[in-house]
Structures are given as structure tokens and as C-alpha cells.
Amino acid sequence: MAEPHLIDPRTLYKANEYPKQEQDTPALEEKMIPKPDCGETSYKGSGKLLNRRVLITGGDSGIGRAAAIAYAREGADVAIQFFPGEEPDAEEVAELIKKAGRKVKLLPYDLREDEAATAIVSETVEAFGGLDTLVLNAAQQISRPTLSERPMKQVEDTFKVNIISMFATVQAAEAYLPVGGAIVLSTSIQANDPSEDLMDYAATKAAIANYTVSLSKYFAPKGIRVNAVAPGPIWTPLQLDGGQTQEVIQKFGLDTPLKRAGQPAELAPVYVFLASNDASYVTSQIYGVTGGGNINL
């Protein structure tokens, strides 16, 4: 009898210290050591999202990139919002989406700007003839050791990018989302276990968790599902342009029960599931992908 294909989750990816490294904003995947696995070579689709029309914020790198690659290989056309300056990463993803035989739309917008949410929605609808799936994933994360070193401008920008832009994007998209559509938000383990150096980021992630539940109640009567994913420590560019201290970077993820950081590719199947018809009876839920960290208070 053939043996089952099993993997040891502790050793599937890097399980020792990372080298010290930092980047100027915006950080890029191509400069990371090691470069994250976003499923570029590993993700195989099976038609779960055939002909979907998807908008992903923060889709150029990290978790958003992994979702974009997976969605395209599952049969979706994908629009990617990214922060201006991240074109090299965005163009790489665009090529992978095209190789999957799907349409792609690149949207270089700063989500701190008032008009950005309306623009990315309208350009997606124009490019694809509609919009049925939103993945709201873009985020700003900046570590500060003390309260006095945390400028209020940073706090304001973090709230604008991480949660206010979600309100604005959903509001702009509501008129287009059809019955059977889906919204997937990215929150974090920081919503439940906040770090003292990430106060503003953690507060926005708690707000997103709350928003997920209230938004799902609003959209359920319209036949639209709303869920969220709560990642733990995932190896993405978000960590390298001020998102973590160098001391944390070196030992990133080693304090989880699985003793390593996660890779973006390990979250992609959850984002696919929550958008797909397989999740037809799933709404108002938050799925943790944390390496064992608890997202339940």
C-alpha cells in the first residue's frame, strides 16, 4: 500500500534565525533574504474561482501576492492595488497572472488619499466588466519602542491605510457586488495579542476583526459573505521597512508553537476557500493562520 504524503510543519520552511536586514519604504520582496514563498512555483489551481473578478489591496507582495497568484490559478481575473514605488513586485505578479491565462489590472494608489478607494473599484469594474470578490489586505506596520517616539501622523496614516480604506473600498464596491460575492479581510493575531511596540497597527487589526463581524451581518441578507484571516508572524516585506526591530527580525517566528515564521503561500488556500463556493455556509468568521498562536481571547 502506498504511503500517505505527509509533511512536518515544523521544518517545511526556514526554522532558524534570519539575517539582519532592513529596507527603505517601500520594501520589496526581491531584496529580501530569503525571498518569501508566495506560491510562485508551488500553487496548483483547480477552477475554484473560475471567471471571478477580484480586487486585492496590497496584492504586489506578501500575503496579497500569494492570494493574487492563487486566485489567478483558480481562474480569476485579478486587479492589484499597490503603493507607488512597489512596481517591481507588482509587475512580477502581473506576469504570473498572465501566465495563468487571466486578465490583470495594476492599480498604483496610495490608500491614504481620499479618492483612492473609489478609483481602484471603478478601474477594476471598467477593466473586468464587474466586481464580485474583494480581498482587503493592504497594511502599514511601523514599530516604535516608546509612546513618545510614535508620531501622531504615523498613527493617523496607519488607521487610514489599515481600516479607513477598508470602509471606503467596501462603500465604493457595494453597488457592484452581486449575490454570491465575497469579501475577505486581513486582520492579525495582533488583534488578540498586541505587541507594545505595534500599538497603532494592533489597534487597527482589532478594529478589522470587529468590522468583519458587523459587515457580515450587513451583507448576509444580500447573499454576500464576509470573513477574515488572522495571520501570525509571516515573512513579508511589511516586516523590513520599520515593521520590526532588527532583533525581532533575526528571531522572527521562532517563538511560535511551530518554532518558525510562516510563508505567504501557506495562507493562500485559506483566502481561496473563503472566496470560493466551497465556503457557501461560512460568514462572519476569522480564520487564524498563526503557527499555533491563539486568536481567541
The angle subtended at Cα 293 by Cα 287 and Cα 297, nearest 5°, is 75
What is the three-class DSSP state of 60?
coil
> Which stretches within the chain are classed as H helix?
62-73, 87-99, 116-128, 152-159, 165-173, 199-219, 246-250, 268-275
Q: Which residues are catalytic?
A: 201
Query: Would you say 72 and 44 are in contact if contact means Cβ atoms under 8 Å apart?
Result: no
> Which stretches within 74-192 are classed as H helix?
87-99, 116-128, 152-159, 165-173
231, containing H or E segment: strand 225-231
Rounded CA-CA distance 163/115 in Å is: 15
Identify residue 8 by its one-letter amino acid code.
D
List C-alpha distances in Å: 182 to 21, 108, 120, 155, 292: 37, 23, 17, 29, 27
What is the three-class DSSP state of 108?
strand
What is the three-class DSSP state of 163?
helix
- The torsion of the CA quartet 117, 122, 128, 129, rounded to 10 degrees, works out to 140
What is the three-class DSSP state of 135?
strand
What is the three-class DSSP state of 10?
coil
Rounded CA-CA distance 188/207 in Å is: 10
